[in-house]
Structure 1
Amino acid sequence: MRSAPQGEPVSVLDRILAILEAVRESHGTTTITQVAVITGIPKSTVSRLVGDLVRRRYLSRSAGGVAIGLRLFELGARASTPRRLSAAALPVLAELFNATGEHLNVAVQEGCDMLSVVSVRGRLRPVPSRAGVRVPSATTALGKAVLAFTEDDLVLRGVIGEFDPGTRHSYEKELAGVRAGWVAIDRCETFPGVVGVASPVLSPDRIPVAAISVAGPVTDMDPRRVAPFVRHAALALTHRLALQVA
């Protein structure tokens, strides 16, 4: 690999990062020429890479040049979601634990899995999941609660794409029921002997942000009894997150 003259970034990744940093440091809009001067990257290369970044929404183009695009803001918002969720969820989880005494989780979707962000131990031993652990979206109440409200066909296909037609039809019917009642149930599908009840946490424009769940032993936790508590907790968390944005 050749050496970079005057500190010019060599690899494609280095060049892309240098361009993004130069645009960010402009605190507004900058030009291709200015980016080339700041980074030491040939102007033709900057123009080509900026074009790719604009197409992918990492940068946006205007009459004055280029600026940071919406995709970077979206990624930044997603990175802060676990921290915001944790802060907003704690009082909600305290109330839910007092009402149920069972194992609680708040989780976000990551690919075909749900990633636990906050977990509160209940009666279950061993603990079925904890913060930082992934569980499958397809079978868990957490995953069903989110999938029922997602409008991303790629996500849905990734989860149910390999289902046979009969299973897919039954699953889609179950998700329709979740949308109607705002409650999803996992009847020992993920962990033997463990029943889970979950409800979605939505953004102001009804995009699923996370889900909150209660899990307990199938022998003596009635999903119908805890469902209203879970639904109330999810609505409370939805409201708290909306206030953070407002």
Structure 2
Amino acid sequence: MTITTESPMDLPCAPAAGIPGLIELQSVECPDTPAPNSVLGKVALILQAFSVDDDELTLSHLSRRTGVPKASVHRLAQELLELGFLERAGASYRLGMRLFEIGARVPRTRALRESLLPFMHALHSATRQTILLTVLQGAEIVFVERVNSYGQAPSLSKLGGHVPLHCSATGKVFMAFGPPELFETAVRGGLTRLTPNSAASPVRLRAQIDRVRADGHAVEYEEVMQGFSSIAVPLYESSGRLIAGLSVTGTLQRTDIPRFTRSLLMTKEMIESSRAIA
């Protein structure tokens, strides 16, 4: 690739499509800062423009979301097509299989997913709810594995999706049992509300974290998506380092908090006793 130094165009912002009941956080249509001048920086913006809910995007969408001029997006997209990082979908683009191949090799999550998936299936059989495995990424949690509940909306927490620490049950688990600075990091980032029930004040969030620390698990009601609740526990490596969060998520009508909490804690004990996480 040839490095260029083109200036980004000022383009109008377009509203991002969201999930009902959930504020769209996965993509930004109008960047706060100018697009980087390096080719690598622009390529990163193009690939990151796809949210977990985007099957495909047009050239215009990519340009608006990245702030990169259409001509530059088109040229870089052609190279990404040749490399297999993008694929054609009519007049639009979608992420290519080459990215999936590379992502599947990430050691941080590959071994974790392979080790814990049998336990997740067992927990799903016991609860019939969606089981989610998450890891920490900055001030957010990222969904790295899931076992779906029958009939539950698949858009609730797609693989690769992410939500702020302060809203989710697993995020609260990370703040309660992870590095102390996570709480301040979350607060400095702004306690954005995903629903009216989301914790929006440091005082309320601190009280929630103290409760999680005392109980050993976290429960959230409609803080990520209206009509849904989650229970989460921390998962540790044999060295004692917090490495992931495991949760049960379901609709309020189908969620039996006491029973699901018992099943989740039993699963945590089995994982720890089997030393599934080295």
1:206 to 225, 240, 251: 240
The reply on whether 1:131 has 2:165 as its aligned counterpart is no
Unaligned runs of 5+ in 1: 1-78
Q: Which residue of 2 aligns with 1:170?
A: 204
2:146 to 119, 122, 136: 119
- Residues in 1 aligned to 2:109 and 2:272: alpha-carbon distance in whole angstroms: 14
| 1:159-194, Cα deviation, whole Å (9 max, x unpaired) | 12345xx93222222212212222111100101100
Moved segments of 4+, more than 4 Å: none
Q: Which residue of 1 aligns with 2:269?
A: 235
Q: CA RMSD in A?
A: 2.2
2:120 to 87, 93, 100: 93
SS in 2 for 1:191: coil
Unaligned runs of 5+ in 2: 1-105, 192-199
Aligned pairs (5 A) from 1:99-114 = 99-114=126-141
- Residues in 1 aligned to 2:183 and 2:136: alpha-carbon distance in whole angstroms: 12
Q: Which residue of 2 aligns with 1:145?
A: 173
SS in 1 for 2:238: coil
- Identical residues among aligned pairs (%): 21
SS in 2 for 1:148: helix
TM-score by length of 1: 0.61
- Residues in 2 aligned to 1:227 and 1:244: alpha-carbon distance in whole angstroms: 21
2:229 to 186, 195, 203: 195
Match for 1:147: what amino acid?
A: M
| Residues 124 and 112 (structure 1), Cα distance of their counterparts in 2 relative to 1, 3 Å cut | farther
Match for 2:163: what amino acid?
A: V
Match for 2:229: what amino acid?
A: V
2:187 to 160, 165, 168: 160
Question: How far did residue 146 of structure 1 move?
Answer: 1.4
- Residues in 2 aligned to 1:194 and 1:159: alpha-carbon distance in whole angstroms: 22
Q: Which residue of 2 aligns with 1:183?
A: 217
Higher helix share: 1
| Residues 116 and 226 (structure 1), Cα distance of their counterparts in 2 relative to 1, 3 Å cut | same
1:219 to 231, 236, 253: 253
Q: Which residue of 1 aligns with 2:22?
A: none
Match for 2:162: what amino acid?
A: R
Moved more, 222-231 or 203-212: 203-212
TM-score by length of 2: 0.54
| 1:39-87, Cα deviation, whole Å (9 max, x unpaired) | xxxxxxxxxxxxxxxxxxxxxxxxxxxxxxxxxxxxxxxx522011111
Aligned residues, how many?
164
- Residues in 1 aligned to 2:160 and 2:217: alpha-carbon distance in whole angstroms: 23
SS in 1 for 2:177: coil
Match for 1:130: what amino acid?
A: K
Q: Which residue of 1 aligns with 2:70?
A: none
